[in-house]
Amino acid sequence: MTLFKKVLIANRGEIAVRVIRACRELGINTAAVYSVADKDALHVRMADEAVCIGPAPSAQSYLNIPAIISAAEITDSEAIHPGYGFLSENAHFVEACTASRITFIGPSAENIRSGGDKSRARQIMKRKGVPVVPGSDGPVKDEEDAMKTAKKIGFPVILKASAGGGGRGMRIVNDEKDLPQLYHTAQKEAFAAFGNGDMYIEKYISEMRHIEVQILADNKGGIVYLGERDCSIQRRHQKLIEEAPYIFANTKFRKKVGETAIKAAKALRYRNAGTIEFILDKDEQIYFMEVNTRIQVEHPVTEMITGFDIIKEQIKAAAGEILPFKQHDVKFTGHSIECRINAEDPEKFIPSPGKITLFIPPGGPGVRVDTAAYSGWTVPAHYDSLIAKLIVHGKDRQEAISKMKRALREFVIEGIKTTIPFHLNILDNPDFISGNFNTHFLEKLNKK
């Protein structure tokens, strides 16, 4: 089986660098794209060639489908890796690639549509016997329908936008009398953000952990799970710390959630890498929440405990190779944690772009840094503030925490503010250390 001769990377920052590295190891040439604001970016230097695709605003560059397809054509790229964000979950983009006979390295357009329509994904899962939280069967018709469903499942409920993401169009309703108002504001918000006001309802699970399963599928029906991640440490729907495995997972739990994820993926005839997100309630019951049809920021923690290179596997699967291993070949070793380091004020969480005057990343045993930053580079204000992912691997969780603290202290980033002090604080928190946390950990921390 021959892989691609050249892959175009339709992204920037650490994920573009990560994909270039995977291509290099596979002997594939790379073409980068960049905006005017990224002319000095590391991904541009690292790729074999680079094409400027437009001005700084992403709508005119990294989201510009004709510019990216043209860049693939002029560089003779056979495939495009979209990374995460930007065009990674855009079904039209997948179709534009196919129309230009370029392979999209990722799931099918149909997979992306199913994942993006959250009420439909939920409905499909319910019908296929994948556990879902009690709630509506698909979207609700109107406010009256919403009320009827809410009364049936009982308050509190959570209203969610079918096209939702990042918490927009989402409202918790504790009392029946608040539903009409909250339904209308949530729907308005959803319509403004996504151009789609479809809403669905679920029973609100107040004490949940966010557990997700990495899956990998070839184009011939082969599929494996690479274990779960705990992504409960989040703030305003932005994950800040992720780890694998889930601290309280035993072999039986891993098999149950893994096989449930495969059932969910099979229901969608899923291809390539993806993630099935679950709610884990206080009684350790799992419920399907969403499917993420892209490589995720936190994929490295899974790579660290399984030894697989998920990006390389994505590329091989997209080239038509069948999965080179079976479920029983997937072994889980030790514990991995990732801290997302953002160019932000660690107290106010507001962006802190600017010139990095000194950048000295940590190293040593069990430490991995995925970044596109370097000394003298200016963090542009136009994009996401993620500037580095610090990932550690230890024999157990305790060793991973010690390594993370050591590595965070070693990390030198001067000239801008970063979230390193925030992470050091969390790693000393007794509830974090004992594993006594859920998705509301950071909100509660601020109230103490």
Among 133, 213, 295, 426, binds ligand MV4 (CB under 6 A): 133
Output 226 or 240, the one with its CB closest to ligand MV4. 240
Return the range that interacts with ligand MV4 (CB under 6 A); candidates 74-82, 108-116, 204-212, 298-306: 204-212
Site for ligand MV4 in 67-86 (CB under 6 A): none
**Are the beta carbons of 19 and 372 closer than 8 angstroms?**
no
Return the range that interacts with ligand MV4 (CB under 6 A); candidates 198-206, 247-255, 316-324, 347-355: 198-206
190 lies in the binding site for ligand MV4 (CB under 6 A): no
The count of other CB atoms within 10 Å of the CB of residue 184 is: 13
Output 72 or 289, the one with its CB closest to ligand MV4. 289
Tell me the CA distances in angstroms from 192 to 37, 146, 163, 185, 188, one per residue in order. 28, 20, 11, 11, 6
Catalytic residue of the set 18, 113, 171, 294: 294
237 lies in the binding site for ligand MV4 (CB under 6 A): yes
130 lies in the binding site for ligand MV4 (CB under 6 A): no
Could you give the CA distance from residue 339 to residue 410 in angstroms, rounded to a whole number? 14
CB of 263 to ligand MV4, least distance (A): 20
Return the range that interacts with ligand MV4 (CB under 6 A); candidates 1-9, 51-59, 182-190, 200-208: 200-208
Among 73, 129, 172, 428, binds ligand MV4 (CB under 6 A): 172
CB of 235 to ligand MV4, least distance (A): 9
Site for ligand MV4 in 422-441 (CB under 6 A): 439
Half-sphere exposure in the Cβ direction for 288 (13 Å, CA): 31
Kindly state the helix (H) or strand (E) to which residue 273 belongs, with its residue range.
strand 272-280
Count of residues making up the chain:
448
Residue (of 384, 106, 101) closest to 271 by Cα position: 106
Could you give the CA distance from residue 417 to residue 419 in angstroms, rounded to a whole number? 7
230 lies in the binding site for ligand MV4 (CB under 6 A): no
Return the range that interacts with ligand MV4 (CB under 6 A); candidates 14-22, 202-210, 215-223, 299-307: 202-210
CB of 193 to ligand MV4, least distance (A): 14
CB of 227 to ligand MV4, least distance (A): 21
The count of other CB atoms within 10 Å of the CB of residue 266 is: 15
Q: Match 């596109």 to its residue by tokens.
A: 372
**Are the beta carbons of 87 and 99 closer than 8 angstroms?**
no
Among 57, 167, 351, 354, binds ligand MV4 (CB under 6 A): 167
CB of 387 to ligand MV4, least distance (A): 22
Could you give the CA distance from residue 355 to residue 415 in angstroms, rounded to a whole number? 6
Residues 6+ positions from 182 with CB-CB distance below 8 Å: 159, 171, 173
**Are the beta carbons of 312 and 81 closer than 8 angstroms?**
no
158 lies in the binding site for ligand MV4 (CB under 6 A): yes
**Are the beta carbons of 121 and 284 closer than 8 angstroms?**
no
Output 108 or 292, the one with its CB closest to ligand MV4. 292
Residues 6+ positions from 101 with CB-CB distance below 8 Å: none
Active site residue 294: yes
Please, what is the angle between helix 397-410 and helix 420-427, to 10°? 150
CB of 267 to ligand MV4, least distance (A): 20
Output 94 or 130, the one with its CB closest to ligand MV4. 130
Output 113 or 203, the one with its CB closest to ligand MV4. 203
298 lies in the binding site for ligand MV4 (CB under 6 A): no
Tell me the CA distances in angstroms from 305 to 68, 302, 391, one per residue in order. 34, 5, 11
Binding region for ligand MV4 (CB under 6 A): 133, 158, 167, 172, 202-205, 208, 234, 237, 279, 439
Residues labelled as active-site residues: 294
